[in-house]
């Protein structure tokens, strides 16, 4: 029987993984070092001892799912509040996509302006109103069939990390902008020099009554001080988080500021869903967060592994005069196929599109070496990722770099 699944990856891909343990996943009985860890969600690695113990504990307390309020979600919200004290209220969802969708709904309830500003390079999931990409003149193009022309007319793109051009576009359109949504650190190009740009956006939005939405679904917990906003002392109106905070379960969370809550408290906004705040995701997420907060060195160790990986490879690249560079923010890693200084994804893609075939062959080479390098190119280590396997990956990356990019 042919493959019935239409989700991305299932039709063209012939590789379907079967199980995972620690830092490896299996395909046809063979183990592959996993550089994705479920797109960064599995901070403790695959099938960790802690994860199994949490699931056993859940079964012991007779946990079941409820399509109505439950204490598991209440307890989970209190733990999240301790980590993100700026959240006045919390809304539970089932994914990052759902969290972003409802965050935009909340923003529309705040004012009647209709345009959304999206920052080039940010990814916010399968949200219809954001499923566009800019052309070379920053005009929106459809990323999917079935999208609305009306949504296309209401999206405005600005370049990441470019204050001058962003300011011109924002000033020109400020009277009609409802919200501005951004991944403060973009996983597609994890830079460490975006603080001034983010501060500029914060000040502009505050001055012009524009809802600032931080999508920290990837950077939440993984970032220094648990979030980019805390590290850079920025106060977005709405925040979305997910991935790590679910402990391996599907999750999306919206945190709204005191000011936003004051303005929507008496409005009628629908937040619900059958599995929103479900007991299983809430219990596992809550226990995982409590474990991470009790064992704070876990995040530090993963950052150290990531720095070791970056430093080792960038030193090799420099000594061999290769046109490559490893970028890193905390434990978010990305191989970029140019040594030219770049500040955003548009510049990154300009160089990578020229050698896409080489990059494809490079990924195939790594797979032959039993290394799973995700299609996005974004590398996430976990607590289970061993230095032995990191060294094995480094060794084969050097061979691959020399073979395809020397």
For 357, other C-beta atoms within 10 Å of its C-beta total: 9
- Specify the pLDDT at position 147: 96
Q: CA-CA distance, 109 to 92, in Å (whole number)?
A: 18
**Beta-bridge partner residues of 140:** 134
Per-residue model confidence as pLDDT tens digits over 235-288: 999 999 999 999 999 999 999 999 999 999 999 999 999 999 999 999 999 999
- Specify the pLDDT at position 402: 97
- Specify the pLDDT at position 64: 85
The full set of domains in the chain, from first to last, is 19-47+296-405 (3.90.1150.10), 50-294 (3.40.640.10)
Please determine, for residue 317, whether its predicted confidence score (pLDDT) is greater than 80: yes
Please determine, for residue 1, whether its predicted confidence score (pLDDT) is greater than 70: no
Per-residue model confidence as pLDDT tens digits over 155-196: 999 999 999 999 999 999 999 999 999 999 999 999 999 999
Q: Provide the greatest CA pair distance for the chain.
A: 63
Please determine, for residue 21, whether its predicted confidence score (pLDDT) is greater than 80: yes
For 355, other C-beta atoms within 10 Å of its C-beta total: 16
Q: CA-CA distance, 282 to 73, in Å (whole number)?
A: 5
Q: Mean pLDDT across the stretch 307-332?
A: 97
Q: CA-CA distance, 80 to 20, in Å (whole number)?
A: 28
Please determine, for residue 224, whether its predicted confidence score (pLDDT) is greater than 90: no
- Specify the pLDDT at position 65: 86
- Specify the pLDDT at position 8: 86
- Specify the pLDDT at position 56: 96
Q: Which of 53, 48, 85, 68 is nearest to 244 (CA)?
A: 48
Please determine, for residue 2, whether its predicted confidence score (pLDDT) is greater than 80: no
- Specify the pLDDT at position 228: 97
Q: CA-CA distance, 230 to 391, in Å (whole number)?
A: 33
pLDDT band at residue 63 using 50, 70 and 90 as cut-offs: confident
- Specify the pLDDT at position 13: 76
Per-residue model confidence as pLDDT tens digits over 274-295: 999 999 999 999 999 999 999 9
- Specify the pLDDT at position 11: 80
Half-sphere exposure of 281 (CA within 13 A, CB side): 22
- The pLDDT mean for the chain works out to 96
Q: CA-CA distance, 307 to 393, in Å (whole number)?
A: 14
């Amino acid at each position: 029987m042919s493959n019935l699944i239409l989700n991305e990856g299932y039709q063209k891909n012939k590789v379907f993984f079967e199980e995972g343990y620690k830092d490896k996943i299996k395909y046809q009985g063979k183990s592959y070092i996993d550089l994705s860890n479920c797109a960064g969600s599995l901070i403790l690695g695959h099938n960790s001892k802690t994860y199994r113990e949490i699931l056993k504990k859940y079964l012991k307390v007779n946990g079941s799912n409820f399509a109505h309020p439950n204490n598991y979600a209440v307890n989970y919200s209190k733990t999240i509040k301790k980590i993100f004290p700026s959240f006045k209220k919390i809304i539970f969802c089932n994914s990052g996509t759902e969290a972003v969708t409802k965050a935009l709904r909340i923003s529309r309830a705040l004012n009647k302006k209709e345009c959304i500003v999206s920052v080039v390079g940010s990814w916010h999931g399968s949200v219809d109103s954001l499923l566009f990409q800019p052309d070379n003149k920053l005009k929106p193009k459809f990323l999917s069939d079935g999208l609305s022309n009306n949504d296309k007319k209401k999206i405005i793109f600005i370049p990441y990390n470019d204050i001058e051009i962003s300011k011109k576009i924002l000033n020109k359109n400020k009277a009609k902008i409802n919200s501005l949504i951004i991944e403060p650190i973009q996983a597609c190009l994890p830079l460490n020099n975006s603080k001034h740009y983010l501060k500029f956006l914060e000040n502009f939005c505050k001055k012009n009554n524009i809802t600032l939405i931080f999508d920290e679904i990837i950077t939440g917990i993984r970032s220094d001080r648990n979030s980019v906003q805390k590290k850079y002392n920025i106060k977005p109106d709405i925040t979305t988080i997910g991935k790590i905070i679910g402990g391996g379960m599907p999750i999306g969370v919206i945190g709204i500021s005191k000011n936003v809550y004051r303005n929507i408290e008496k409005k009628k906004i629908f937040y619900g869903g059958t599995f929103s705040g479900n007991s299983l995701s809430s219990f596992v997420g809550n226990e995982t967060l409590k474990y991470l907060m009790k064992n704070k060195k876990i995040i530090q160790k993963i950052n150290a592994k990531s720095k070791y990986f970056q430093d080792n490879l960038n030193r090799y690249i420099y000594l061999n005069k290769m046109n490559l560079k490893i970028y890193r923010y905390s434990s978010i890693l990305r191989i970029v196929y140019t040594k030219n200084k770049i500040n955003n994804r548009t510049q990154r893609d300009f160089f990578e599109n020229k050698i896409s075939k080489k990059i494809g062959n490079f990924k195939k080479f790594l797979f032959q070496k039993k290394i799973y390098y995700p299609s996005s190119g974004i590398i996430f280590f976990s607590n289970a990722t061993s230095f032995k396997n990191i060294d094995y990956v480094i060794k084969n990356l050097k061979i691959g770099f020399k073979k395809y990019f020397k």
